[in-house]
Chains A and B, each alone.
Chain A
Amino acid sequence: MTGIAPPIAMLAELTHRCPLSCPYCSNPVEMALQESELDTDTWVRVFQEAAALGVLQLHLSGGEPASRRDLVTLVQAARDAGLYTNLITSAIGLTERRLAELDAAGLDHVQLSLQGTDADMADRVGGYRGGFKRKMQTVEWINRIGFPLTLNFVLHRHNAHQLERALEMALEMGARRIEVATVQFHGWALKNRDALMPTRAQARAVTRQVEAARKAHKGTLVIDYVPADYHDDYPKRCMGGWGSTGLNVAPDGQVLPCHAAQSIPHLRFDRVQDKPLAEIWHNSSAFNAYRGTDWMAEPCRSCERKTVDFGGCRCQAMAIVGDASATDPVCIKSPHHKALQAQADDHAAQGDAPFVHRTAPGAAREPAE
């Protein structure tokens, strides 16, 4: 394929290890073992290759990136390569001293996850007692250093009522931005749709609250919003279009077009250990599978929105319709749209369905569904 624009952003999933066990974790259900994680030197080379390819924004994520002992070295190497370096963290594993080292290494920005607005909710969702308290302590350290801060409030049926407080907390913490991200149903979240699916009424109320808050806090707090897409009529523009703006490197070096791409069974992924990143971006069969619009069938092919949302999410089409090249069933033009809306209402009505918390990489998993 020719004329492929370079990527702007790279998500580096440094590890799948995490002290938390959120039931909506975006890591795949089959997680990479610690022994298979890329070593420091390989990550450093990948950062240099990414910058040379055109990546500007590097998101250091996981799992919990602070679980990597070499995090400070990696941040330093990313900055040396010329990348804008963003740490996506739960705060667990960050000490005041480590944050000072990250500051000295040139870390640009911190995105902090928020599982709930009080210890009861946050620690129940995260499955980690004391996590909320440590998070609040870490915010003080972050602010003392002066890192720009974004809060990421992952919203679902159990904590949607805490949105107002989450917005207040963002303002109190001096965060410049908050992401109000309704759970997307990939990875572990797919197992937890009964427990997490917001009701249609909640989804509507959240949208109204976000709109009001955007007006009220204009110029003070930027609000990025991911609505509950099962309840929506048009799909999200996933990844800004497959293979168009971003790529994801998994802990074991596999290069993915999005973090859930391994859920599409026929895709084969190249590894950074075997090929240069630029070659993978341009030539990998997984990246070219759904790039552009040539792969589309109807109703996408003749749709006026085909370059607006690129047919929505390939992984969602796979998960729900069983065909990764189908129109995202969220779309009102999909023959599966009505069934999905009914299914969403069913999930949302399962009041006290228990959480299936994610397990640790390599740990025994719960019996197959």
Chain B
Amino acid sequence: MLAQEVPALPRGVRLHFDKVREKWVLLAPERAVTLDQIGHAILSEVDGARSFGQITRALSEKYDAPVDQIAEDSSGFLDALRNRRFLDVTA
């Protein structure tokens, strides 16, 4: 994922707190993806308006971690969601 690209959750894909398993999940058509803390933190910032670069900078400040590290950790995760059509991306 490039810094200027804008990720968005498409219709039919949403964050959901699974009260039974006490975990955040991403619900998508006929699939449920269990999220770890990092995955949940990233997707909570995805609003369809801010770019990937803006999101990683926000997370960097929030968690006091290097922005490059956050970009590296989250880029593969978001690309995988994109390939499964769980994430829309506009340039």
Q: Closest CB of chain B to A111's CB: distance in Å?
A: 7
Partner of A150, one of B25, B29, B32: B29
- Answer whether residue A99 sits at the interface, using C-beta atoms and an 8 A cutoff: no
CB-CB contacts of B20-62 with A at 8 A, as 1s and 0s? 1100010101111000000000000000000000000000000
8 Å CB contact of B12 from A52, A147, A221: A147
Interface size (B, Cβ < 8 Å)?
Answer: 18
Q: Is A290 an interface residue (CB 8 A)?
A: no
Give min CB distance, A16 to chain B, whole Å: 22
In the assembled complex, the CB of A287 is this many whole angstroms from the nearest CB of chain B, namely 18
> Are B16 and A176 touching (Cβ within 8 A)?
no
Given A82-B16, A147-B12: A219 and B29 interface contact (C-beta under 8 Å): no
CB proximity of B1 to chain A, nearest CB, Å:
12
Q: Is the CB of A53 within 8 A of B29?
A: no
CA distance A74 to B29 in the complex (A): 18
Is B12's CB under 8 angstroms from A56's CB?
Answer: no
CA distance A52 to B83 in the complex (A): 31
Verify B29–A109 contact, CB threshold 8 A.
yes
Tell me which residues across on chain A come within 8 A of B83, comparing CB atoms.
218-219, 222
Given contacts A86-B30, A109-B30, contact A148 B84 (CB under 8 A): no
In contact, A56 and B85 (Cβ under 8 angstroms): no
The distance in angstroms between the C-alpha atoms of A20 and B25, with both chains bound, is 36
Q: Name the residue on A nearest B18 (C-beta).
A: A56
Indicate if the CB atoms of A222 and B12 lie closer than 8 Å.
Answer: no
Contacts A6-B21, A52-B20, A54-B18 given: A177-B29 contact, CB under 8 Å? Answer: yes
**Quick check: is A171 within 8 A (CB to CB) of the other chain?**
no
Q: How far is the CA of A147 from the CA of B85 in the complex (A)?
A: 14
In whole angstroms, how far apart are the Cα atoms of A176 and B82 in the complex?
11
Question: Does B10 sit at the interface, judged by CB under 8 A?
Answer: yes
Main secondary structure, interface of B, reads loop
* Chain A 146-164 per-residue mask, 1 if CB under 8 angstroms from chain B, else 0: 1110100000000000000
Complex-state Cα separation, A146 to B12, whole angstroms: 9
Q: Digitize A1-42: 1 where CB-to-B-CB distance is under 8 Å, 0 elsewhere.
A: 000001010000000000000000000000000000000000
A46-58 vs B: 1/0 string, CB under 8 Å? 0000001110110
Known: A148-B10, A148-B12. A86 touches B20 (CB 8 A): no
The distance in angstroms between the C-alpha atoms of A64 and B85, with both chains bound, is 27
A215 to B36 CA separation, bound complex (whole angstroms): 28
Contact B85 A176 (CB under 8 A): yes
- How far is B88's CA from A220's CA once the two chains are assembled, in angstroms? 10
> How many whole Å from B69's CB to the nearest CB in chain A?
26
Closest residue of chain B to A53 (Cβ to Cβ) is B20
Cβ of B48 to closest chain A Cβ, rounded Å: 14
- Contact between A219 and B82 (Cβ–Cβ < 8 Å)? yes
- Establish whether residues A56 and B25, one from each chain, have CB atoms under 8 Å apart when the complex forms: yes
Q: How far is the CB of A42 from chain B (nearest CB, A)?
A: 22
Please indicate the chain B residues that have their CB under 8 angstroms from the CB of A52 in the complex.
20
Contact of A148 with B29 in the complex, beta carbons under 8 Å: yes
On chain A, the residues within 8 Å of B21 by CB distance are 6, 54
User: Could you give, for residues 71-111 of chain A, a 1 whenever the CB lies within 8 Å of some chain B CB and a 0 otherwise?
Assistant: 00000000000101010000000000000000000001101
Closest 9 CB pairs of A and B: A148-B12, A54-B20, A176-B85, A109-B29, A84-B27, A56-B32, A109-B12, A219-B83, A108-B12
18 A–B contact pairs at CB < 8 A?
A6-B21, A52-B20, A54-B18, A54-B21, A56-B25, A56-B32, A57-B27, A108-B29, A109-B12, A109-B30, A148-B10, A148-B12, A150-B29, A177-B30, A219-B82, A219-B83, A219-B85, A222-B83
10 additional A-B pairs beyond A108-B27, A111-B30, beta carbons within 8 Å, are A54-B21, A56-B25, A111-B29, A146-B11, A148-B12, A148-B29, A176-B10, A176-B85, A177-B29, A222-B84
